[in-house]
């Protein structure tokens, strides 16, 4: 594997630790080598020292940690070069041939941990000068995949000049999360869920992403994209399409991705009336977004957005899908919340209180932190008389499974090595996603719409609550925050 942009933050914090974890657990090929490529000048030993500081063994693997650490680093090499220089890639390829000698096939994977502005240059050089002469050549491409429909199509056309669709692995690390991969298992391997998975029983679906910290000095980069491009158009929309898709013909990658594309193409155009944007301001010792010295003065970039979406098909007609993402909010979480309809003719409505919304069944899939799946049910309180309260049937991964959950990058890198594209994004998926969000992004930017301000570590803009109320919905994470025993 070749990590392009080897001296960058993503490579050090995520890619090398993921590769080391795969090696420790015996998932990497027997004769693997890892190559770093970047403009920085480094020797192999300096490179090993650089990445070694980011590697650690899990508790279960501590016994042989030192030995595995040294053996792993012996397989790591570095080659400095310019990203647009074919000769530098050709020289890298010659170096790579040395450990490949004597093998019938030698596969190569290039991980583009670089800004999108140089994707095409690197893809051209890697394809023309450093492709494997005997095995496959695969390229992992990190988001962002453009900024709108036009820039995405241009980027896609440029990459297709050098790579085929089969060679490209467009990575969205959220699709590598344990609970996301479990989503199809939960739905299709359990008889009780699939019959309920429709407008007949589900009142609304919420996909929520929140962080309890701001841009923290990275505002200059974030300001180029904003929360809709950074989180909603990719992470949350991908989760939504996986959740809402029809049963695929098989678990083959193309069959799954075909169904996801159908969801995106069946979605109604998004109206600005169904969008709320916000930007966090300072509170106490916490700086606001505009106080970040890397953020342009007077920036209107949203750090929060809530969007109501609708899927125009027989299964989901009329069901609001609410997508919400924000920075500097009251909690850190990513989850899917499925709120079911009220029980018709409920015999116990007089014992459930005046607010039936708080007592409807709700399925919560907590992606992070504290990965779990729980179902809220109404239950009789033990004792004389008939008193009801809301309890949850809870599958907490931390307490149920005595094992470390793999990082998303571990799963996705291993899938690339194995040629499994189920959790990667196809070109037509991205095209459909950008076609949905480009009109509202252009309208926001052309009209210079000002985001609603909200305090740091708050619940976000008031407008998000009005948006939910407009569609007869209450945000599930807000209700849990009002009841601390649920918010775990």
Which neighbouring-strand residues pair with 329? 458
Phi, psi of 245, rounded to the nearest 5 degrees: -65, 155
Say which of 79, 173, 235, 330 is annotated catalytic: 235
> Using CA atoms, how far apart are residues 393 and 361, in angstroms rounded to an integer?
11
Report the length, in residues, of the chain: 488
Angle in degrees, CA 163, 139, 231, rounded to 5: 110
- CB of 452 within 8 A of CB of 278? yes
Angstrom distances, CA of residue 33 to CA of 14, 36, 73, 397, 450? 17, 10, 9, 34, 50
Residue 215 Cα distances to 122, 344, 367, 381, angstroms: 29, 46, 22, 45
At 398, phi and psi to the nearest 5? -65, -40
Q: What is the largest CA-CA distance in the chain?
A: 83
Q: Are 320 and 204 in contact (CB under 8 A)?
A: yes
The torsion angles phi and psi of 466, rounded to 5 degrees, stand at -65, -40
Crossing angle (nearest 10°) for helices 427-446 and 237-244: 130
Helix or strand (DSSP H, E) at 188: helix 178-188
CA–CA separation, 347 vs 209, rounded Å?
36
Q: Burial letters for 270-281: b for 16+ Cβ neighbours within 10 Å, e otherwise? A: beeebbbbbbbb
Q: Hunting for tokens 């990590």 — which residue is that?
A: 3
What is the rounded radius of gyration, in angstroms, for the C-alpha atoms of the chain?
Answer: 24
Q: How many CB atoms lie within 10 A of CB 30?
A: 5
465 catalytic, yes or no?
Answer: no
Q: Which of 478, 429, 398 is nearest to 178 (CA)?
A: 398
Strands (E), 342-403: 362-368, 372-380, 388-396
* Nearest-angstrom CA–CA distance, 35 and 108: 10
DSSP 229-287: IIIIIIIIHHHHHHHHPPPPSSSSHHHHHHHHHHHHHTBPPPPGGGEEEEEEE-BTTBP
214 vs 225: CA distance, rounded Å: 15
| Active site residue ranges | 235
């Amino acid at each position: 594997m070749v990590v392009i942009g080897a001296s960058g933050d993503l490579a050090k914090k995520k890619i090398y630790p993921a590769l080391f974890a795969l090696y420790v657990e015996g998932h990497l090929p027997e004769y693997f080598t890892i190559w770093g490529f970047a403009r920085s000048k480094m020797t192999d030993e300096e490179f090993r020292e650089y990445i070694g500081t980011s590697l650690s063994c899990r508790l279960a693997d501590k016994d042989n940690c030192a030995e595995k650490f040294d053996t792993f680093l012996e397989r790591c090499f570095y080659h400095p070069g310019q990203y647009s220089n074919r000769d530098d890639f050709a020289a890298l390829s010659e170096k790579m041939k040395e450990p490949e000698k004597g093998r019938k096939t030698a596969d190569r994977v290039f991980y583009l941990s670089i800004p999108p502005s140089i994707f095409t240059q690197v893809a051209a050089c890697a394809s023309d000068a450093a492709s494997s002469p005997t095995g496959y050549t695969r390229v992992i491409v990190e988001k962002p995949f453009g900024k709108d429909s036009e820039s995405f199509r241009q980027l896609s056309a440029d990459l297709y000049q050098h790579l085929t669709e089969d060679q490209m692995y467009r990575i969205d690390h959220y699709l590598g999360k344990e609970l996301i991969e479990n989503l199809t298992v939960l739905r299709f391997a359990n008889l009780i869920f699939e019959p309920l998975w429709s407008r007949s029983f589900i009142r609304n679906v919420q996909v929520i992403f929140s962080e309890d910290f701001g841009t923290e000095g990275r505002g200059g980069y974030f300001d180029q994209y904003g929360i809709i491009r950074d989180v909603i158009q990719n992470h949350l929309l991908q989760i939504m399409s996986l959740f809402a898709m029809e049963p695929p013909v098989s678990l083959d990658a193309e069959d799954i991705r075909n169904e996801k594309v159908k969801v995106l193409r069946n979605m109604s155009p998004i109206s600005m009336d169904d969008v709320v944007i916000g930007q966090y301001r300072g509170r106490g010792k916490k700086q606001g977004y505009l106080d970040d010295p890397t953020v342009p003065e007077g920036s209107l970039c949203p750090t929060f957005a809530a969007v109501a979406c609708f899927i125009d098909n027989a299964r989901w007609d009329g069901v609001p899908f609410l997508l919400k993402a924000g920075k500097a909010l009251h909690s850190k979480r990513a989850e899917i919340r499925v709120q079911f309809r009220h029980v018709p003719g409920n015999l116990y409505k007089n014992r459930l209180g005046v607010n039936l919304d708080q007592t409807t069944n709700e399925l919560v899939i907590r992606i992070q932190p504290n990965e779990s799946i729980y179902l809220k049910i109404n239950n009789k309180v033990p004792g004389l008389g008939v008193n009801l309260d809301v309890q949850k049937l809870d599958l907490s991964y931390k307490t149920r499974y005595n094992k470390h959950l793999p990082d998303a990058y571990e799963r996705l890198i291993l899938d690339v090595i194995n040629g499994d594209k189920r959790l990667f994004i196809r070109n037509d998926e991205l095209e459909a996603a950008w076609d949905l969000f480009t009109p509202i992004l252009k309208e926001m930017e052309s009209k210079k719409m000002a985001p609603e301000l909200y305090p740091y570590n708050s619940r976000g803009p008031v407008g998000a609550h009005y948006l939910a109320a407009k569609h007869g919905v209450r945000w599930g994470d807000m209700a849990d925050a009002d009841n601390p025993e649920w918010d775990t």
